[in-house]
Every structure is written in C-alpha cells, then in structure tokens.
Chain A
Amino acid sequence: MRFKTKTRVYGLLFILPVLAVFGICRIFPLFDSIYLSFFRINFASGRRSFAGLENYMEFFRDTIALGAFKNTLIFVLMIVPVGMLISLLLALLLSTFTKRIFKLREVYKLIYFLPVITNAVALSFVWQNAIFQPKFGLVNALLGSLGLPRLGLLVDPNQALICIVIFVLWQYCGYYMIVYLAGLENIPPIYYEAARIDGASKFQCFRYITLPLLAPIALFVGIMWTIGSLQVFTPVYIMTGGGPMNSTNVAVLYIYQSAFEYLKFGYGSTMAVLLFLLIFLITVLELKVFRPRRETGGRL
C-alpha cells in the first residue's frame, strides 16, 4: 500500500500526546511510588536514603495508620451493601413511572442526581455546618423540637464515621441509581409479558427476570462503590480532619497528611502502595466471588 509507512508514522504521532501524559502522570508515578516506599526522604535537602523495609515495618507499628486502614474497611463495609440497596430501590422506584408521565420522572431524577454533580467541598461544608452542627444543625434541631436527646454527631467518636457514611450515601446514590436504571431499561419488556401470560406474580417477575439480568450491573455498581469508598478523602478532610480521636481517620487522609503535612514522603508512598494493593485485592476478590452465574438455565 502507498500509505503504509505514512500511516505508521502518523498513527504513532497521534497517540503520542496521550502516551506522554499517561507516561509522565500515571505510569512513571506508579513505579516511582513503589521505589519511594523503600526510602526516607529529607524534605529540606531533598536527600533520599535507602531504608529497605523500614517504612513497611513502621506501618505495622503505627497504630494511627492501622486505625486509618481499619476505619477505611469499616467505612467500605457500611457503605457498599447499603449503597447498593438504596440505589437499586431508587432505580426500581423511578422505573415504575409510565411513559405518559416521563417529564415528571425527569424532575425526580434531577433532584436525586443533584448531589453527584455539585462540588464535594461545598457540600461537605453544608453538611458539617448546617446539618451535623451539634448545637443548631438541622439534625439536632429536629431532635430537640421532638423532645428527643441530642446527638454528638461529628464530635462523638462513635457517631462521626456514621455521619460521613450518611453523607457519602446521600452524595452518590443518585449516580448508581442512574446506572441501575440504564440496566433496567435494557431488559426487553417481552420477558415480562411472556411471564405475565404464564401467570407469574410481580414478585416472581422481579426474582426470576429482573434480578438475574441485573446481576452484572449490580456487580459493577458494587465494585465502583467499593473502589470509591476505599479512596474517600474530601468529606473527611473537611468535616472532621480525621477526628475526633482519629475515629474518622481514613487511609487517603493519613497518606495525604503523612506526605504533605508531616513531610514523610517515603512513608506516605509506602501507605499509598499498600492502599493500591488493598484496592486491587478487594476488586479481584469481589469479581471472583460475585461473578454472576447463569441462572436462566438456557431458557432465555
């Protein structure tokens, strides 16, 4: 072909910008993080001294770091099942709207989706100062006017993490609702019609048509909730700063603080590598355990 060499050169040329950005900003940093995790870095002089596994040993001795990783896992365990359920229920609710009133459905969709697209820093401020504020925030004001005891919320070590969980659920369930909704709309209506002719009840339709066909989407949603929750940072940084008594300290927050506040860049890298491994392992595990089996028995 006449264009052969030409397309080779241009083909490579055209992917060059993306490769350069990814190379500099993603792939090199991955290996550099692993490399840095074996070093002590002096911020003032910029000198790096090899430390072997010292940073890793420090992690397993550092009760704050272990606590932060433990809090992250608790956070994930609270968020993922509840988040998956709420977003599914919201999607099921909206999917029952008939075609005739689609416009109205769009209004509800808009409201449920609103927190997803708004600035997380601004939203965290709103929840911290208008909703969770212990003296006159909305929650305690309502409890007070009902004559119920007030809660400590963000200043109570036992409740602070739950407050963050509620905030993140509120923030993102609209997004996963949309993902589920797309899945629900992909199920051909003819399946339900056939089932109805066979005399299946609404619940049977849900159990034997909707659920199995939605399983791959549910797995995707579960994994996305998990990866996202393992990386939670902004609401914790804004609302509690990790307190009270480190009860809301999470992995990314502690990595950020170690590196950019205490200037322990090597140690920060070590924890970043460990978090990366954790995310990778949990994702693989979820894929292995929850991979949807064919439940349809070849009938569909």
Chain B
Amino acid sequence: MGRTPVGYIKIFAFYILCTIIALFMAMPFVWQILTAFKQPSEVISFPIRWLPSSFFIENFKLAFQHLNWARGYLNTLIYAGVSTVGCVLFSTLAGFSFAKYDFPAKEIFFLIVLATLMLPFQIQMIPLYFITVKFGIFDTYFGLILPRLAATFGTFLSRQYMSSIPDDFIDSARMDGCAEIKIYLAIILPMSIPLAATIAIFEFMSNWNDFLWPLIVTNSQSLQVLSVALLGFTIPGTEQQLYGPQMAASLLIILPVIVVFIFMQKRVIESITLTGLKF
C-alpha cells in the first residue's frame, strides 16, 4: 500500500512521540549510569556535565568497600529463592487439592484463601514482628521467609489451571498404586511447568525487590538483603563524595534484574500481569 506524504509525517511523528516518552522513562537509568562513572568534581559541576570525561571506576571500588556484596547477594538470593521454591510448591499443592480433591468445608477454606488478598501488609506487620520474636525466629532466615511461603494468587491460579487437567491421569495413576503425593510430584507438577514458572517469576521478582518486611525482621548486618543494605550508603556529612558510589551501588543491585528481564521479557510481563503487583 502506498503512503501519502502526510501519512509518512504521521508515522514519523508517532515514532518521535514514542521515543520521547522512552527517553523520559529511561532517563533516570541513563543518568544513574553516567553518574556512576563520573568523578566527584564532575558530579557537582555547573553547568551540567552530561558525559563523564573518563571511564572512572573508583565509584565502583568505593561501592564494593562500603557494602558486603557477597553477603548481600547471598542473603537476597536465599530470601527470594527459598521463598519462591516454597511458595510455588505449597501454592500449587493447595491448588491441586482445591481442584481435584473432595473434603469437608472445601469452599470455606478456598474463600479464606481468597479473602487474604484484601489484607494489606501493614495490618500484619506489627503482629508478625511479635510472632517472630515469640518463636525465636526474629532476625533469622526462617523468620524472613515464613510469610512469603504461600501466595493467594498462586493458589487461585493453580486451582484454575489444574481444573483443566483431566481426572484420567490421576485415576489411572491411582489404579497403578501410585501414592497421592507422588501423583502430585511426578504427574501434576511436571504438567504444570508454565503455571509454576508464572508464579515463580512473580514471587522471585517481588521478593528480590522487597523492602519493608526485611527492614522489620532483620537486625544484624549478616542477614541484610541488598535493598536494606543499600541504606548504609546514606552517611550524613559525607554525602557529597558518596553520590557516585551510591549510583554505582544502585546499579549493581538493579542490573541482574534488568538482564533477566531483557532476556525473559514476555514471560515476566505475562507473569506480572496475571499475578498482580505488590507495591
């Protein structure tokens, strides 16, 4: 189909608009990267210096000195990883039960699970803190992970998904004398990989970025996740020298997520749209 000159101008304007918005959206990231490579004098210079004059990596060195990165990454991985594995297993198991088993008060239990969706985290945080203290799991990995071991949407999605798996698979396995838990582990779970991936991506990302709960439940530095550890960069009085290192440190925290996102964009977006969003 041929285009008129006006048509071309329209398309051109459309791309310009999309790109301007993209620039606005990406600007903080770009500015952060540029600042991370600037020397302290360049950061505060006026008029504004857009590009760093040299490839200045001192900021990254300082960032490495100021934070125990190995520990931070390890803690965040443990928190996000273990929570995610547990959450996927428990939620799909419960979803399987809600979809395929008959037991008393099933509908009521399911309603209770759904109702938890309406509870904001703020109404839970103070009692949760007391619970962790009482059980002696305050400032431990277990205390950190415990509230993240089950997900409402995960359970709900699992029930929907597993309702569509034909009963024949389960019945024939039972005929062959397969144990119930084995039916779940060896038949149902392998059939539900896309579902598990959807729940896992969402849980992993929201736990990787989580802040308020780790802030409350961890005290010792050896347990801090990255987002809490980053707070250590606001040292009053020395702020000026720390801008560069701060940007470098922030970059080191968000980079892994961005890389994962670029490679799995479709999956991630689908997972987050299906599962909802945690503020």
Contact = CB atoms under 8 A, between A and B. Distances in A.
A149 interface: no
B146 interface: yes
Interface string B13-54: 010011001101111110110010000000111111000000
Contacts of A232: 279
A109 B269 contact: yes
A148 to B, nearest CB: 13
Interface in A128-180: 129-131, 133, 135-136, 138, 141-142, 144-145, 170, 172, 174-175, 178-179
Given A7-B102, A90-B21, A106-B265, A22 B44 contact: no
Contact of B28 (A116, A130, A251): A130
| Secondary structure class of chain B's binding surface, majority of residues | helix
B211 A121 contact: yes
Given A93-B18, A130-B28, A175 B277 contact: yes
Contacts of A138: 27, 31, 48
Contacts of A130: 28, 31-32, 35, 243, 247
B32 A15 contact: no
Interface of A: 3-4, 6-15, 17-19, 21-22, 24-30, 32-33, 36, 90, 93-94, 96, 106, 108-123, 125-127, 129-131, 133, 135-136, 138, 141-142, 144-145, 170, 172, 174-175, 178-179, 182, 224, 227-234, 238, 251-252, 255-256, 259-260, 265, 268-269, 272-273, 275-276, 279-280
Interface of B: 14, 17-18, 21-22, 24-29, 31-32, 35, 43-48, 90-91, 93-94, 96-98, 101-104, 106, 109, 112-113, 116, 118-131, 146-147, 149-150, 152, 155, 174, 180-181, 184, 205, 208-209, 211-212, 216, 226-228, 230-231, 233, 243, 246-247, 249-251, 253-254, 257-258, 261-262, 265-266, 268-269, 272-273, 276-277, 279
